[in-house]
Copies of this chain bind each other. A is one copy, B any other.
Amino acid sequence: MKQIWGVCTLDEEFVKREDALKNYNVSDYKTPDGYTSDIAIFTISPKDDQSQEQVLKLLLIKRAMKNAEGEPNIEGGKWALPGGFIDAHNKETAMMAAERELKEETGIDGIFLKHFGVYDEIDRDPRGWIISNAHYAVVNEKHLIYRKASDDAQEVELFSIDDVFSLPLAFDHERIIKDAYEMIKEDMIQTTVAKEFLPEEFTLSELWHVIVSVASHDAIETNANFHRKARNLKFIEEALDENGKVKTAKRFSKKPTKLYRFNDVQVLKSIYR
């Protein structure tokens, strides 16, 4: 590395910012007409009122036919991911804007949120060159009732993921939702994101049903074998009460079940081992 430092003396090592900024003309390049964040908000809830089968669902908003001024709204009447423009006046990043939007939808902070892609094709939005940062979030269903109650001006609906693609979707949101779905299925298998769907303390059966409803049966043992295997998984542990005894609860059965919790252990499975 010595030859690198040899080319200039110390006091002219770097250009000073104030010298450089005088000469910079940003207008040589076309700049985006808009910079937005969109969020695919996932939850798991029963398929319908009768069934107790849990399925993955996605929250969508029906775009209003008319905007605030009473004029026709762009892509009005179609279903879209919640999202909006990034408030750069308040020094927002795409992630911060997504967090803000997510709080507006759910009323709570601290929800799991992951950036998974950028959609920047020049004609993806007829209003101009509008760049979307795509995120997905995982929310317990109870928090989504908040939004339905707090703002009935817009139609908000939870759709089973399999129903989503038969809806009329705004902009390129079909592509974005497909990518979000692929991403969450992968993460469900390779990361501990399953915990975002579960309470702090959960039963092995609850965990098993989350994995199966998002990914597939291939991702996990049969329920019976999973019980035996669970004790070897490094990233979950039994939930203990103040006396050090394993906590139990009744969930789906009459027999009390042991409760587990995720710990902070990170796992990475190598394809070469």
Contact = CB atoms under 8 A, between A and B. Distances in A.
B19 A270 contact: no
Given A14-B75, A33-B31, A122-B91, A65 B268 contact: no
A221 interface: yes
B189 A270 contact: yes
Interface in A119-158: 120-123, 126-129, 131, 133, 155, 157
Given A189-B270, A226-B272, A71 B220 contact: no
A190 interface: yes
Interface centre among A14, A71, A93 (most CB of B within 10 A): A14
Given A31-B88, A88-B122, A94-B120, 5 more contacts: A1-B163, A14-B75, A19-B71, A23-B71, A31-B33
| Chief secondary structure at chain A's binding surface | loop
A23 B64 CA distance: 14
A161 B186 CA distance: 29
Nearest to A36: B29
Contact of A21 (B22, B65, B127): B127
Contacts of A49: none
A263 interface: no
A103 interface: no
Given A31-B33, A127-B24, A78 B271 contact: no
B76 A20 contact: yes
Contact of A271 (B14, B34, B157, B191): B191
Contact of A8 (B77, B122, B191): B77
Interface string A1-17: 10010011000111111
Interface residues of A, number: 88
A77 B15 contact: yes
B34 A29 contact: yes
A24 B74 contact: yes
Interface in A25-72: 26, 28-35, 62, 65, 67, 69, 71-72
A228 interface: no
Contact of A88 (B14, B129, B221): B129
Nearest to A66: B15
A22 B166 CA distance: 29
A236 to B, nearest CB: 10
By Cβ-Cβ distance, the 7 closest A-B pairs, closest first, are A15-B76, A269-B269, A23-B71, A19-B72, A20-B74, A30-B88, A14-B77
A220 B115 CA distance: 30
